[in-house]
Structure 1
Amino acid sequence: MVPTSSPEKAFTRSLLDVLIRAGLIAVLVLFCFEIFSPFRDLMLWSLIMAITLYPLQQRLRGPLGHKEGLIATLIVLFAIVVLMVPVYLLGTSLVDSIDQARTIVKDGNFHIPPPVDSVAAWPLVGKPISAIWLQASTDLPELTAKYLPQIKQFSIGFLGKLAGVGMGFLTFIFALIIAGIFMAYGESGTRSAIQIASRISGPGKGPKIAELCTATIRAVALGVVGIAFIQMLLVGLGFVVKGVPGAGLLALAVLLLGIMQLPATLITVPVIAYVFATEGASTASIVFAIYVFVAGLVDNVLKPLLLGRGVDVPMPVVLIGALGGMVTSGILGLFIGPVVLAVGYQLFWQWVEDQPQNRPDVSPTL
């Protein structure tokens, strides 16, 4: 047997030490991730809101002094009040709409008119729709019993979606409170973000990357989520005042369409048509139609003002982020997805465009 030399022993021992340390670090990281994963979305959303609202805190330092905790608390309380009032109105409207529907069905006053003859002439789906519609107008209980499993499955899924929306709203409130804590330590948080970015990408690029992430988060949060929320409030207020059935759900649909970069007219135009069909062309219905139609187009005015600030994020990136976030994380993913994907997009292109200058030409050797 040939004895192993001292340098080989030292190298083997060093390699073994490195492997053991790497294994222990990997195990520690996995345990930390497993413990932190239930709070991942909450903390991420809190960080997004803190970065978005921090400029407001900086502006309030002059009138309110440099009491960071007090300013952050006032901002959070005001935001919760602003959120609770419209949500309460929309929720009340939704409950009233459901009670009215139950009352109509229980009293037996619910009647579906028979289909017009032109429905059967629709291509492909005209005859089946006309047959089901005709049966619903003549024998609704029999039709309900026939499709009872499908109705039950749809109802369970719908209630699950509503429960998910409620949990998403509660998560949003908790995230807002945590965001207030982050804002209270905003200066130290900024320094920590720069230190982390500098440790990852070097001291020369760290501050630029931290600034890029901050600007992207604010641009997307204000230009996409903020505009969609403002649009939901304006349109939902009109629905509630007019007494449109299901105003809460319709306003929520306007919010989702706004985040997914789809026009709110997909909701407002059918609602306007419904109001004219049920109430006629009265002064109130005309004023309602003008208000709701203009409120549905307010994003065209606000996007150039808000989304154009900071960094330029293409709309397809925002749309893909919203759809992907909705699929992976539900209602909360609609907010987180566009921001995360936009930050990743900007960082990727910064890496692509950051080509080394004056690189010497080296011919390949065989």
Structure 2
Amino acid sequence: MPLLFVVSLGLLLNHFLLSLAWAGLLAVITWPLHQRLMARGWTRGASAAVLVGGLVVLFAAPSMVLLNTVTNEISTIERLVSQVNGSGVPAPEWLTRLPMLAKPATAWWQQHLAVPGGLNLLLQTTAGDMLPHLPRTLSTLGPSLLANALYLFLSLLTLCVLYLEGPAVIRYVDHAGERLSPKHYAIVRDLFPLSVRGTALGLCSVALLEGVVLGIAYAIAGAPAPALLGIITGYMALIPGGAPLSFSLVSLVLLGQGNVGPAIGLFAWGAFELFLVDKFVRPKLIGARVRLPFLAVLFGLLGGVSTLGVIGLFVGPFMMAVLFWWLRKDEPVLLRPKTVSSPEKKRAA
């Protein structure tokens, strides 16, 4: 009967589970800051308002920077496209040395990109092929944007309620967990916030680091619109495999422009920086608090994002933390000592 009720409740809230999950994750990540503000005399309402407003600004600011960067650098991109379209781009020498693909690839390049006006004709042809599908795409775009705006509003509203009613929510969750499995719930309760906060810290720190470092590398290598490419790389770095895809594509662009040395240098620097980040920085930030090894963090991130999307970036490492807790039952799984509440201290005294 309880299982049937849980399944029915899940079906009832199916469209809103993602909003509830994001609200819960954000509450867990920012809960220490919420407690710190209240310890300084802030009311729950004031702390909730400041934290929710800060999260809105935090998420909106990168989008505003991206929009501003696109506005500033769109003229550069337009000039580059106009130059390529006006004079054409001769086929690079390396294209003629591709095994089995050299002849068709060179013929396609000569037809579409090497002749003046070829790029413009290619873009018009591509846009013409897309026109029959454009009305259907636009008809689904509006409802999708409205639905996502609703889910975002519900997430922020739920997060605000969690800040305001946190003790009651924690009490209800503890009661449910202890009724289901008192023995395992205590470990899960300790592992979950540590894993989620470590994942958030690792992902955001690595994304910021790779966006800045590779953006500077793009500028040094002479890539077009380096600031825009750096911001896109930072967003892509949130997903495992996104950063190498970004700098590899930029290296190919430089190679296609004939800048062989900068292309090879950028790719080599990106690979070296990625090795340092993936080998030392990311596992240290994500897995150190619950003693997860490098491969466990990597497969947790990849498996989570491939199965559940972005939210799987948090679920995957947590599942790996539970797995390694089970494997290390006789070892301490946490790196921090378990705190003892004041009533327990009094009883011990």
Q: In structure 2, how many angstroms separate the alpha carbons of the residues matched to 1:252 and 1:153?
A: 29
Deviations 1:62-119 (A, max 9, x none): 3x31522211221221232233222101023335655765687689954431113442
- Confirm whether residue 114 of structure 1 aligns to residue 93 of structure 2: no
Deviations 1:10-47 (A, max 9, x none): xxxxxxxxxxxx4xx67654442222111111111111
Paired position in structure 2 for 1:124: 100
Deviations 1:198-254 (A, max 9, x none): 11112x44322211222222222222x2224423663598689x9953854652343
Q: In structure 2, how many angstroms separate the alpha carbons of the residues matched to 1:90 and 1:128?
A: 37
Q: Percent identity?
A: 20
Paired position in structure 2 for 1:79: 55
- Confirm whether residue 220 of structure 1 aligns to residue 195 of structure 2: no
Q: In structure 1, how many angstroms separate the alpha carbons of the residues matched to 2:151 and 2:208?
A: 20
Q: In structure 2, how many angstroms separate the alpha carbons of the residues matched to 1:179 and 1:172?
A: 11
Paired position in structure 1 for 2:31: 54
- Confirm whether residue 234 of structure 1 aligns to residue 209 of structure 2: no
Paired position in structure 2 for 1:8: none
From the superposition, tell whether residues 243 and 78 of structure 1 become closer, same or farther in structure 2 (CA, over 3 Å).
Answer: farther
For 1:349-364, list aligned pairs within 5 A.
349-351=324-326, 354=329
CA contact (8 A) 2:300 2:320 kept: no
Letter in 1 for 2:204: G
Q: In structure 1, how many angstroms separate the alpha carbons of the residues matched to 2:16 and 2:154?
A: 11
Query: For this pair of structures, how many residues does the alignment match?
Result: 313
CA contact (8 A) 2:29 2:200 kept: yes
Which of 307, 311, 317 does residue 290 from structure 2 map onto? 311
Deviation at 1:278, TM superposition (A): 11
Greater Cα shift, 112-121 or 310-319 = 310-319
Taking structure 2 as the reference length, the TM-score comes to: 0.67
Paired position in structure 2 for 1:362: none
From the superposition, tell whether residues 26 and 84 of structure 1 become closer, same or farther in structure 2 (CA, over 3 Å).
Answer: closer
Paired position in structure 1 for 2:319: 344
Give SS of 2:13's match: helix
From the superposition, tell whether residues 218 and 96 of structure 1 become closer, same or farther in structure 2 (CA, over 3 Å).
Answer: same
Give SS of 1:307's match: helix
Where structure 2 has 5 or more consecutive residues not aligned to the other structure, the ranges are: 331-349
Q: In structure 1, how many angstroms separate the alpha carbons of the residues matched to 2:136 and 2:204?
A: 28
CA contact (8 A) 2:283 2:293 kept: no
Paired position in structure 2 for 1:184: 164
Deviation at 1:166, TM superposition (A): 11
Paired position in structure 2 for 1:359: none
Taking structure 1 as the reference length, the TM-score comes to: 0.64
Q: Over the residues paired in the alignment, what is the CA RMSD in angstroms?
A: 4.9
More contact order relative to length (CA 8 Å, sep ≥ 6): 1
Q: In structure 2, how many angstroms separate the alpha carbons of the residues matched to 1:174 and 1:115?
A: 52
Letter in 2 for 1:311: V
Letter in 2 for 1:45: W
CA contact (8 A) 2:301 2:317 kept: no
From the superposition, tell whether residues 171 and 121 of structure 1 become closer, same or farther in structure 2 (CA, over 3 Å).
Answer: same
Q: In structure 1, how many angstroms separate the alpha carbons of the residues matched to 2:135 and 2:78?
A: 17
Deviations 1:152-208 (A, max 9, x none): 7999999999x9899879856753553343233333333333222211112x44322
Where structure 1 has 5 or more consecutive residues not aligned to the other structure, the ranges are: 1-21, 280-284, 356-366
Q: In structure 2, how many angstroms separate the alpha carbons of the residues matched to 1:337 and 1:313?
A: 17
From the superposition, tell whether residues 347 and 108 of structure 1 become closer, same or farther in structure 2 (CA, over 3 Å).
Answer: closer
Q: In structure 2, how many angstroms separate the alpha carbons of the residues matched to 1:169 and 1:148?
A: 29
Letter in 2 for 1:343: F
CA contact (8 A) 2:96 2:106 kept: yes
Q: In structure 2, how many angstroms separate the alpha carbons of the residues matched to 1:233 and 1:170?
A: 30
CA contact (8 A) 2:223 2:250 kept: no
From the superposition, tell whether residues 324 and 158 of structure 1 become closer, same or farther in structure 2 (CA, over 3 Å).
Answer: farther
Deviations 1:257-277 (A, max 9, x none): 3431565595289479959x8
Greater Cα shift, 124-133 or 264-273 = 264-273
Greater Cα shift, 94-103 or 255-264 = 94-103
User: Larger Cα Rg: Structure 1 or Structure 2?
Assistant: 1
